[in-house]
Amino acid sequence: MDVVGDLLARERRSRDAALVTADGRERTYRDLITNAYKAANVLRYLGAREGSTVAVDATPRLHTTLAFLGAAGVGAPVRFDPAAGIERGDRVVLVDVADEPTTEPAPGTNLAVFGGPPERPETTHWEQELWSENPGMPPSGVGPADPVVREGDAPVTHRALLAAAAAVVERHGIDAETRVVLRGDFADARALAAGVVAPLSVGGTAVLTARAAGEPAERRGDVAVVAADSEAPVPEPVRATLPSFAGD
């Protein structure tokens, strides 16, 4: 794979489980890839293009995952920090509908919300647009050296993110039968690489969690991905080592 959008190749669509959300619902590779195509088209409609940045809520959910994959497909790097996205005038900002009242987009920034219909008429209802969109990936000229994630002022390229994911796959023996449980969020691109990109790259399953602090954790897979500074125990038998990003 050369770019993150290669995860969405049409021939990879199958009935195998690609993603499990915090509520336990499974999405197949067919579902995930088809809806990532739709997400790419919604973002294009909102003005996202190669080089323009999309700011997305960092909570690991179905719609934030689709937004990341769709943005990667059209060449728009993602910033998992909506507040910084507004401050920097990113092209699209995607947040939970509960955050709409306190989210004021800058001029030229399109605000979209998921989790229900928005209050403001100028805010885009993400799900409504997503489910009605064309299930085909729009064309893009994105390349391996282009940024796919922005962490502050430091971009992470497609090449670096995929290489980090490949290192996790090799180190922990992740394959199509492995369920990788992300016990963190997307704010750390290393966790995104290990918890989502790594399993998807080999046909495995990415499992998202939303456990409150102090709540007992139940085993949900084979490999756990946690924040680098976390010392909390995990129920999975393997705790992944977060990768580093090699320079381009």
Render pLDDT for 81-92 as a digit per residue (tens, 0 to 9): 999 999 999 999
pLDDT of residue 212: 53
Residue 234: pLDDT over 60 = yes
The tens digit of pLDDT for each residue in 15-70 reads 999 999 999 999 999 999 999 999 999 999 999 999 899 999 999 999 999 999 99
Calculate mean pLDDT across residues 165-172: 97
Q: For 98, phi and psi rounded to 5 degrees? A: -65, -20
**Distance separating alpha carbons of residues 208 and 29, to the nearest angstrom:** 15
- 224: β partners: 181, 239
Residues 72/66, Cβ–Cβ less than 8 Å = no
Mean pLDDT of the chain: 93
Q: What is the pLDDT of residue 233?
A: 87
Cα–Cα distance between 126 and 207 in angstroms, integer?
22
Least confident of 5-9, 139-143, 154-158, 203-207: 139-143
Task: Give the model's confidence band at 240: pLDDT under 50 very low, under 70 low, under 90 confident, else very high.
Answer: very high
How much of the chain exceeds pLDDT 90, in percent? 84
User: Would you say residue 200 has pLDDT above 60?
Assistant: yes
Pairing between strand 205-208 and 17-20? parallel
Q: CB under 8 Å to 5, separation ≥6 — which residues?
A: 69, 72, 73, 137, 140, 142
